[in-house]
Chains A and B, each alone.
Chain A
Amino acid sequence: MADTAVQQLPVARSSSRVGAFVRRYRLAPYLLLVPALAGIALVYLWPLAQMVLYSFQNFGLPQLTGAAPVQWVGLANFSTTFADPEFWLSLRITVFFAAVAVPLTLVSGTVVGLLLNRLGRRMSVFVSAAVLLAWATPPVSASVLFYWLFNPDGGLVDWTLSKMPNWLVGSTDWAGFNWTTTGALQAYTVLTVLVVWQSFPFIAVTTLAALKTVPAELYEAARIDGANAWRLFWRITYPLLKPIFLVLLLLSVIWDFNVFTQTYLLTGGLANRNEFNLSLYLYDKAFTFPPSYGLGGALALIFTLILLIITVGYVRASVRQGALS
């Protein structure tokens, strides 16, 4: 193997015994990996293990203060969770939100990516700089900003809607309309706009980068054969970019399942229980007084398993692209 050959070359004559020991047992790669592995173990693997343990324990306030011992409770946390209507509501909200936001993000991002590819140089730089700024906006700033845009007292959106004719925007009294506390549908409408605004740039820029790799002759040939733009996309662009679209789809699903910062800020901290998605529900169970790490752990496990199923798809898509070689 070419790889081991490197190590067998007369590299550095280190006289130290440690060096000889490392070389003899081929420890170099493990030594290089140890610091990173320690970090990953500390913030990913060990918390993950704890989460699984908690999910089978009655770990709550009395156990935290030491007033009562920690006990194994089997699947009690899971049955409590599955019996809680709030859990099902938050799951529904999470799935519906992803089902709306993911396609919107992907379609708008792809369209902008295709457009960027067709524009002249200057225009392309201008538009990509514009979408880059939306992408650069930190989630906290973006959330606070959209809260203000959709604010009932002085927000721009309500004012604009109230000035529009009824046949266009319905007969709702938009002046002073409260988007964030009226209900989940209204709050998640704002969230969808916000999340699409923040994430379509990534899709657009990635699509553009991928489009640059498609040989122009392919399009030329098809155009001579009389294919229109729609056919060009579905016959040439889509098949070639399909692996990338698949990765983008899976990443978007994972991100939109995970939205925490934006939901936390737009739905008023943890104040509106009927607007919880899974993330907020989990966080609330674990940290709102009285904290229950048992229920939080069970939920985290359920949440992780859902994402793991999606992740398996992601890993398989990456492997198919030869990422592990």
Chain B
Amino acid sequence: MSLLQVSPRTAKKTKNISLNALAVLIAVITLFPIFWMVSTAFKPSQEIYSLTPHLVPDHPTLGNFAEVISGRVSGIGPVWLFFRNSLAVTLATVLVASVLSLLAAVGVARFRFRFRTSFLIMLLIVQMIPGQALIIGLFRDFDRLNLLQNLGGLVIVYAAQALPVSIWMLRNFVATVPRHLEEAAAIDGAPPRTIFWRILFPLVAPGLVATSIFAFITAYNEFIVALTFLGQAHATYTLPIYVTYFFGRGGAQWGPIMAASVMYTIPVMIFFLIVRRRLVGGLVAGAVKG
């Protein structure tokens, strides 16, 4: 009995080792698909289609990236064109959504008025309406507005779609700014503009970062609206639609397709790692504690 009994310290050590081993296993499994995407992107086609898969490229090549950059394989243009489209749409979305949601958040957090609660509940409900249900009406409207194969049309849709969540998140940030700061400034005779820029804005800035992250991800990843709106207008394709087009063309160009996916994915991964802390903080403020 006493021989088999492990000391509490050894037990704890064993437990720690097994926990860490489990953690490494989870990290490896999670990272593997991403590793495979990158690995495929650097392989020459003989290695991609060989009978035994190569874990890492034996003869790494930049050929797939060269194909994507020159636009030869996709046939609809160099990857930079679609980068430019995605970047323009994403940045414009972030800007428009930030301004509109900040205004509304101040309205909701700083004033009591009729329909305030209805407005808040409406925000909660509309964000749950499936995009697939709204796309029919959106398509008809933007067709009539002549904004279908147009990046500006996408910006309008994305910015407005980001509003419910953004207002909801920002509202909490505005509410935490102590009101007596504004009152003190008002008593000193500061005009509302000054109160906004000097007091409210700096204190709400972290919230704006959080909502900007949300708007950025929404616009950069969006699929169904872009797929439906852009149709055959190749020059207006955003990155996800470009990758989809490339993928749907068939011919199993896995090297170039993975190279294009890597180029589409890496920027947003770097972005996530940079904003990691805020991402989690924003979640706690936004999703966890409403």
Contacts and interface: CB of A to CB of B under 8 A. Distances in A.
27 contacts: A6-B179, A11-B186, A12-B191, A14-B191, A30-B113, A35-B104, A49-B137, A115-B22, A126-B23, A127-B26, A128-B276, A131-B27, A137-B269, A138-B221, A138-B240, A138-B265, A140-B221, A153-B49, A154-B50, A197-B30, A209-B283, A261-B224, A282-B132, A287-B139, A300-B136, A304-B133, A323-B290
Given A138-B265, A141-B261, A308-B125, 10 more contacts: A6-B182, A6-B186, A37-B119, A48-B133, A119-B20, A136-B273, A137-B34, A144-B247, A321-B289, A321-B290
* 4 tightest A-B CB contacts, nearest first: A323-B290, A47-B137, A32-B107, A39-B160
A147 B243 CA distance: 13
Contacts of A18: none
Which of A133, A208, A264 lies at the interface centre, i.e. has the most chain B CB atoms within 10 A of its CB? A133
Nearest to B281: A209
A205 B104 contact: no
Given A6-B182, A44-B160, A149-B36, A39 B100 contact: yes
Which of A2, A6, A43, A131 lies at the interface centre, i.e. has the most chain B CB atoms within 10 A of its CB? A43
Interface string A105-120: 0000000100110111
A264 to B, nearest CB: 8
B272 interface: yes
Interface stretch (B3-11, B60-68, B250-258): B250-258
Given A136-B272, A296-B136, A287 B221 contact: no
A33 interface: yes
Interface string B177-212: 001001100110111100000000000000000000
Interface size range on B against A: 35 or more
Contacts of A14: 191
A140 to B, nearest CB: 4
Contact of A115 (B26, B140, B190): B26
Given A12-B192, A39-B100, A260-B223, A307 B53 contact: no
Contacts of A50: 136-137, 140-141
Interface string B100-129: 110110111011110011011111111011
A32 B131 CA distance: 26
Q: Secondary structure of the A side of the interface?
A: helix
Nearest to B226: A140
Interface in A36-53: 36-37, 39-40, 42-51
Interface of B: 19-20, 22-23, 26-27, 30-31, 33-34, 36-37, 40, 48-50, 52-53, 99-101, 103-104, 106-108, 110-113, 116-117, 119-126, 128-141, 156-157, 159-161, 163-164, 167, 179, 182-183, 186-187, 189-192, 220-221, 223-224, 227-228, 239-240, 243-244, 247-248, 252, 254, 257-258, 261, 264-265, 268-269, 271-273, 276, 279-280, 283-284, 287-290
Interface stretch (A165-173, A215-223, A311-319): A311-319
A279 B132 contact: yes
A140 B220 CA distance: 11
B73 to A, nearest CB: 14
B49 A145 contact: no
Contacts, number: 313
Contacts of B258: 144-145, 148
B159 A39 contact: yes
Interface size range on A against B: 35 or more
Contact of B183 (A9, A42, A303): A9
Nearest to A163: B52
Nearest to B50: A154
A169 B227 CA distance: 38
Contacts of A112: 26
A209 B126 contact: no
Given A47-B134, A308-B128, A145 B272 contact: no
Contacts of A67: none
Contacts of B159: 39
A89 interface: no
